[in-house]
């Protein structure tokens, strides 16, 4: 249940001469579980973890009716590690130099998930701040596990093609301006973004951290299908380049069954023979009363190598109420090449070419 912050709403209502209708809402998710992971020649580990079903978070969002169909909107959302109470860092400029994600376990609360202000109306919505990239929205929308837990797709991670200067925008980007089309235009929707790297024009790599991307889709009846593209300008110690991500995904709902598919291609342009990876996902969600059964198969193909991997995942969610659910997931990662080191949910590393497995169960409560 969403809790309206009455005191803030009242204060906002009387802060100006024009008493526009406004609302402020506190919301969040508390998701904590137990994960057991095994890996070839690297033992096993038992951990208390979080975000196995949905990402744990706390946030405040609100809007003000400006009249004439125009609204002002804001969103402030922070990640929370519910197993130890720590927060998660963020990236100030979409570059490694401006990132403090390494402070896990020591980081205080930071609004790293979503932080924007904007306007909306019959023409759509415009936002400025930090938010999801179009390519990630397409990925998480077409993954039965919602890019969470041991069974999530690794299509937003870049194992096998990135070894230095890890890109910071595979999920979100900072300093971003974005536009979203309004709902109800024949089922067609679009999302376009442009993010700044905030470098001086006379710096070595002035475009480092710059992001632009778009997503175009159609949602009508049982079908929701979309294409997306994302480009990140980035630099390593030797040269400048770019990371290009593009793909197509979709879901088809037929009664209790919801098949999913996802194709994503990653290309890191630093050399004349850039490393590339192609990801495939086939998934299915089946709903029987209060129970959801989730399953997926992922294939990760690194171009011109034998270092491919494949993952099998199976899970169940039992909804105790509209806000509370119990979940359990099993995933197995088969690293098919001697240079491959994919893991199940990043829970446990393995020797190159080794396999990993993850077992997870937990409770999620949303408010």
* pLDDT for position 236: 67
pLDDT for residue 196 is more than 80:
yes
* Highest mean pLDDT: which range of 15-19, 151-155, 240-244, 248-252: 248-252
Q: 295 with 284: CB under 8 angstroms?
A: yes
Q: What is the pLDDT of residue 6?
A: 41
Torsion region of 123: left, alpha or beta (phi above 0 gives left; psi -120 to 50 gives alpha)? alpha
Q: In this structure, which long-range contacts are made by residues 185-189, counting pairs with CB atoms below 8 Å and at least 24 apart in sequence?
A: 186/220, 187/218, 187/219, 187/220, 188/216, 188/217, 188/218, 189/216, 189/217, 189/218, 189/219, 189/226
Tell me the pLDDT of the chain averaged across its residues.
89
What mean pLDDT is predicted for residues 24-34?
A: 98
Question: Comparing 140-154, 163-177, 227-241, 295-309, which segment has the lowest mean pLDDT?
Answer: 227-241
Q: Look up residue 281 and give its two tokens.
A: 């996902």
Quick one: average pLDDT of 62-91?
95
**What pLDDT score does 307 carry?**
83
Tell me which of 293 and 103 has the higher pLDDT: 293
- Residue predicted with more confidence, 41 or 61: 61
- Cβ-contact 342, 161 below 8 angstroms: no
**Is residue 250 predicted with pLDDT exceeding 70?**
yes
Query: Using 50, 70 and 90 to split pLDDT, how confident is the model at 16?
Result: very low
Contact 146, 92 (CB under 8 A): no
CATH class of 3-366: mainly beta
What pLDDT score does 321 carry? 98
Provide mean pLDDT across the span 70-94.
Answer: 94
State pLDDT tens for residues 290-343. Answer: 999 999 999 999 998 888 999 999 999 999 999 999 999 999 999 887 666 788
pLDDT given for residue 295 in this prediction? 98
What's the average model confidence in pLDDT over 206-228?
96
Cα–Cα distances (Å) from 254 to 110, 222, 285, 286, 296, in that order, read 40, 7, 11, 10, 18
Q: Residue 62 — very low, low, confident or very high, per pLDDT cuts 50/70/90?
A: very high
User: What is the predicted pLDDT for the residue at 124?
Assistant: 98
Stretch 211-225: mean pLDDT: 97
Is residue 261 exposed (0-12), middle (13-18) or buried (19+ Cβ within 10 Å)?
A: middle
pLDDT for 272 beyond 90: no
Give the residue-averaged pLDDT of 151-177.
88
Which pLDDT score is estimated for 97? Answer: 76
Indicate whether 276 pLDDT > 60.
yes
Q: Examine the pLDDT at 10 and tell me if it is beyond 60.
A: no
| pTM attached to this predicted model | 0.90
pLDDT at 241: 85
Residue 3 above 70 pLDDT?
Answer: no
What integer pLDDT is reported at residue 15 of this predicted model? 45
User: DSSP 3-state assignment of 3?
Assistant: strand
């Amino acid at each position: 249940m969403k809790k309206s912050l009455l005191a803030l709403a009242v204060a906002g209502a009387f802060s100006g001469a024009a008493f526009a209708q406004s609302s402020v809402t506190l919301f969040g998710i508390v998701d904590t579980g137990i994960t057991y992971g095994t890996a070839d020649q690297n033992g096993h580990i038992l951990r208390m973890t979080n975000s196995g079903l949905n990402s744990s978070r706390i946030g405040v969002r609100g809007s003000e009716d400006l009249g004439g169909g125009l609204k002002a909107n804001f969103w402030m959302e922070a990640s929370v590690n519910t197993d130890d109470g720590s927060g998660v860092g963020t990236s100030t400029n979409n570059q490694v130099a401006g990132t403090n994600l390494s402070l896990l376990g020591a980081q205080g609360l930071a609004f790293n998930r979503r932080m924007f202000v904007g306007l909306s109306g019959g023409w759509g919505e415009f936002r400025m701040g930090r938010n999801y990239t179009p390519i990630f929205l397409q990925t998480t929308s077409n993954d039965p596990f919602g890019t969470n837990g041991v069974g999530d797709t690794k299509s937003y991670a870049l194992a096998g093609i990135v070894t230095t200067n890890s890109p910071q925008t595979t999920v979100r980007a900072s300093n971003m301006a974005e536009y979203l089309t309004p709902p109800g235009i024949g089922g067609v929707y679009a999302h376009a973004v442009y993010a700044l790297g905030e470098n001086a024009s006379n710096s070595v790599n002035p475009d480092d951290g710059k992001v632009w991307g778009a997503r175009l889709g159609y949602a009508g009846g049982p079908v929701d299908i979309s294409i997306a593209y994302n480009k990140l300008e980035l630099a390593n110690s030797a040269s400048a380049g770019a990371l290009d991500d593009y793909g197509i995904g979709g879901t088809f709902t037929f009664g209790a069954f919801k098949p999913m598919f996802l194709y994503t291609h990653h290309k890191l342009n630093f050399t004349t023979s850039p490393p590339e990876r192609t990801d495939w996902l086939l998934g299915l969600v089946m709903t029987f009363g209060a129970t959801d059964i989730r399953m997926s198969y992922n294939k990760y193909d690194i171009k011109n190598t034998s270092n491919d991997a494949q993952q099998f995942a199976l899970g169940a969610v039992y909804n105790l109420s509209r806000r509370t659910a119990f979940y359990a997931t099993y995933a197995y990662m088969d690293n098919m090449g001697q240079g491959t080191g994919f893991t199940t949910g990043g829970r446990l590393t393995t020797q190159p070419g080794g396999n990993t497995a993850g077992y997870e169960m937990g409770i999620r409560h949303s408010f």
